[in-house]
Structure 1
Amino acid sequence: MHNAKVVGAGSYTPETVVTNRDLEKVVDTSDDWITRRTGIKERRIATGGMVTSELAARAARQALEQSGVDACDLDLVVVGTVTPDRQFPSCACVLQEKIGARKAASMDVSAGCSGFIYALSVANNAIRCGEAEHALVVGAEVLSGVTNWSDRGTCVLLGDGAGAVVLSRTEEDTGIKAVHLRSDGSFGHLLYSVDKDCELPSLDIVPGINEQRPFYLVMDGKPLFKKAVECLEEITRWTLDKAQVKVEELALMVPHQANIRIINALAQRLGLTEDKVYTTIDRYGNTSSASIPMALAEAASVGRLAPKDKLLMVTFGAGLTWGASLVEWSI
């Protein structure tokens, strides 16, 4: 078996910023309420017709540039998303064309907010078994198009963005040390989509916002919060055990950016101090499958990771799905 290591990371967020103060004009909420309940202060929104594949392409080009891998040398492109440009072809195939990855097999993975870790597992397995030498893994979302802007419990949470990593084959004992995935469809009623048109708010808080899709997200927050913390702790401990790494050996944890209270509860249960948990939720909100690769790329760019550092990524999403990966950093 070969190993897969991260050789490049990149991210992209749209320019349009929607603050909590902006949302006060649309629904019965306040900046203080949103901040206390979620940790979010603002989020980015794709405008002017920008679609998921375009966000993905901008993040992918960054990751490819850092990696030194040419797009035409990619063997595999895997995109985690619940908001592809259209039902088919896949977002990954559209992305493949945009970046010129001519020989790559391409596919989407739909696992809710766990999409990036699920996609990472697919690419890791392809490299380990020898079917790929270089793979691009992307998490990308335009959640603004599936947001019910009249529901204060969900519209304050969601944002748009993309993150990407390039994986390359290595014979060294480094890179991805463990990936573990779980799901339980019996809890699917806690986070799901409904097939119903949703009107945009009458106040033009987001000039040029993309057209809404004929479905939107619904969430039962309280039981989901409890289930999330339980599952995140369980899968984190299992993944650390599989990789034979102790909690105190972690240089950094990059969790899915769903809610600061979930992140803090998980860190407390694990005994991780604040300086070992990287968060971006205050600036970007919940970007679903994009949140981990976006935060990862930012953490790497600001010097929070060094070669040989032990990195934990852990996520939870609709399905219900959850997953974690332990990585020895290589850049």
Structure 2
Amino acid sequence: MHFLKPTPKPTPSHCVQSQATITAIGSYVPDRILSNEDLEKMVDTSHEWIVQRTGIHERRISGENEYTSDLIFRAIDDMARRYDKQLHDTDYVIVATSTPDTIFPSMAARVCGYIGARECGSVDVQAACAGFTAGIQLGNALLLTGQYRKVLVIGADAISRITDYTDRTTCILFGDGAGAVLLEHSGNKEGHILSAYSSTDSGGGHHVYLSNEASHIGEHEIIPSGKLVQNGREVYRWAVSHVSAGVNRLLEGSGLSPQEITWFAPHNANARIIEALAERIGFTNEQILSSIARYGNTSAASIPLAVDDAVRSGKLKQEDIVLMHGFGGGLTQAGIIVRWTL
């Protein structure tokens, strides 16, 4: 059987069409801190070794009876309180997560119940660490139809629940958290998403996965451990080369140079990956928004946590240009450039 070869995507030469404006942001991390010193008592590692290779000093871990939905609800509460937002009239909820409490009902459906939105669409997005930015892309597309006016996008993961704490190469990385943004229709004005890009390199999918079933990705056997499995070396190589190329495509679509971007907010996988990406693309360390030192790798929550930290500290200001780029399992990447208006 022969298949038609797809026509290569042209390099984007114009800004993305947008009717989305971010009108609120909120975040939440659990109270419990898992420090590097705590991990020294669990596996063969050291504070110095972890910091040198990852930049992580501590991470937040969900309580025994604290689930992904709890993290989500607290992030929503934080957003609604800080920006005095009513959410019962939300038209659509998108939740990006790899650790739902329940497969169905979805986390998004449960959010609809939590905020009292009775006539509301809902969907969970499974794009691993690229989920939050993919969710914003989808939210913008919904607003462009004109049928929806208010979309709630959430990135949340309780990665500690799928972490193997006997594997010192992965357990040092991950923490739990949630972040939420409200996208609202910009009316007669142009939206504030300036560029968008996404791609998937499925040939590398076996380098990071989670499965409860024995299967294969291509010729690669999948171990049904129910725990996150990652080949950190290969993910690093892929990220530095392919993700940097993806960010450059994103910049081309906006017509902006790295010097014209105020803040670079990548997925906080590992400080060494972030530094290598920044150097390769042309960002300075002063342009990076990171939550890695205090929170570790929080998967779909890492970008909103880093961005909201910058909002709370006063670093991120109105009219700043923010490049957010998620990447991870799939191997998938999704990025957006946003003019900040809060």
Fold conserved (TM > 0.5)?
A: yes
Asked whether the equivalents of residues 174 and 330 of structure 1 are also in contact (C-alpha less than 8 Å), the reply is no
**Alignment counterpart, residue 144 of structure 2, candidates 128, 131, 139:** 128
Deviations 1:46-95 (A, max 9, x none): 00311111111111222234444311121011000000011211011112
CA distance in 2, matches of 1:284, 1:2: 32
Q: Secondary structure at the match of 1:298?
A: helix
Aligned to 1:323: 334
Deviations 1:106-129 (A, max 9, x none): 110001111111111111100112
Which amino acid is 2:149 matched to? E
Aligned to 1:296: 307
Aligned to 2:184: 168
CA distance in 2, matches of 1:44, 1:182: 30
**Alignment counterpart, residue 291 of structure 2, candidates 261, 280, 302:** 280
CA distance in 1, matches of 2:233, 2:59: 22
Deviations 1:279-303 (A, max 9, x none): 1101000000010011111111211
Aligned to 1:107: 123
Q: Does 1:311 align with 2:322?
A: yes
CA distance in 2, matches of 1:315, 1:194: 21
CA distance in 2, matches of 1:174, 1:87: 33
Aligned to 2:7: none
Aligned to 2:5: none
Aligned to 1:253: 264
Asked whether the equivalents of residues 18 and 194 of structure 2 are also in contact (C-alpha less than 8 Å), the reply is no
**Alignment counterpart, residue 93 of structure 1, candidates 100, 109, 114:** 109
Aligned to 1:202: none
Deviations 1:297-329 (A, max 9, x none): 111121122222111001111011011100011
Aligned to 1:237: 248
Deviations 1:32-57 (A, max 9, x none): 11111100010000003111111111
Which amino acid is 2:228 matched to? L
1:146-165 → structure 2 map (5 Å cutoff): 146-165=162-181
Aligned to 1:183: 200
Aligned to 1:216: 227
1:32-47 → structure 2 map (5 Å cutoff): 32-47=48-63
Which amino acid is 2:322 matched to? L
Asked whether the equivalents of residues 18 and 193 of structure 2 are also in contact (C-alpha less than 8 Å), the reply is no
CA distance in 2, matches of 1:237, 1:93: 36
Asked whether the equivalents of residues 247 and 335 of structure 2 are also in contact (C-alpha less than 8 Å), the reply is yes
May I ask how many residue pairs the two structures share in their alignment?
Answer: 315
CA distance in 2, matches of 1:228, 1:168: 32
Asked whether the equivalents of residues 27 and 179 of structure 2 are also in contact (C-alpha less than 8 Å), the reply is yes
Unaligned stretches of 5+ residues in structure 1: 197-212
Deviation at 1:172, TM superposition (A): 2.1
Which amino acid is 2:238 matched to? K
User: What is the TM-score of this pair, normalised by structure 2?
Assistant: 0.89
Which amino acid is 1:177 matched to? L
Q: Does 1:137 align with 2:137?
A: no
Asked whether the equivalents of residues 190 and 223 of structure 1 are also in contact (C-alpha less than 8 Å), the reply is yes
Unaligned stretches of 5+ residues in structure 2: 1-16, 214-223
CA distance in 1, matches of 2:313, 2:19: 26
Aligned to 2:279: 268
Deviation at 1:174, TM superposition (A): 4.1
Q: Does 1:28 align with 2:39?
A: no
Tell me the percent identity: 39
Which amino acid is 2:177 matched to? G
CA distance in 2, matches of 1:139, 1:260: 20
**Alignment counterpart, residue 87 of structure 2, candidates 66, 71, 77:** 71
CA distance in 2, matches of 1:48, 1:256: 26
Which deviates the most, 69-78 or 256-265?
69-78
Asked whether the equivalents of residues 14 and 45 of structure 1 are also in contact (C-alpha less than 8 Å), the reply is yes
CA distance in 1, matches of 2:185, 2:128: 27
Which amino acid is 2:197 matched to? H
CA distance in 1, matches of 2:145, 2:244: 29
Deviation at 1:2, TM superposition (A): 5.6
Aligned to 1:57: 73
**Alignment counterpart, residue 7 of structure 1, candidates 16, 23, 26:** 23
Asked whether the equivalents of residues 2 and 129 of structure 1 are also in contact (C-alpha less than 8 Å), the reply is no
Give runs of ≥4 in structure 1 deviating > 6 Å.
none
CA distance in 2, matches of 1:271, 1:263: 12
